[in-house]
Amino acid sequence: MTPQKLDFIFPFVVFFYGLLMVFVLENPALVKIGEERMGEAFHNLMKHKNLGWVCFFVGGLWAAQNVWYSSL
């Protein structure tokens, strides 16, 4: 894998990480399941909610920028 290819793919990884974090940590049904089954580990994961939102928006904009400039 070339550095250029990795540079193109990495923003999508960041975006999908944020998407997954936001989906899991903001969905009331999944939060309830997580609290019941994971307990303290889930509460530690909830501390990363802001990181999930940042990755979601920054990764999304970064990935969109890569797609935009690669099409030129």
Cα separation, 41 vs 6, in Å, equals 32
Spell out the residues 6+ positions from residue 31 whose beta carbon is closer than 8 angstroms to its own: 24, 25, 42
Along the 72 residues of the chain, how does pLDDT read in single tens digits? Answer: 899 888 899 999 999 999 999 999 999 999 999 999 999 999 999 999 999 999 999 999 999 999 998 876
Structure tokens at 20: 């997954």
Residue with tokens 């290819």: 5
Contact 4/56 with Cβ under 8 angstroms? no
Domain positions in the chain are 12-70
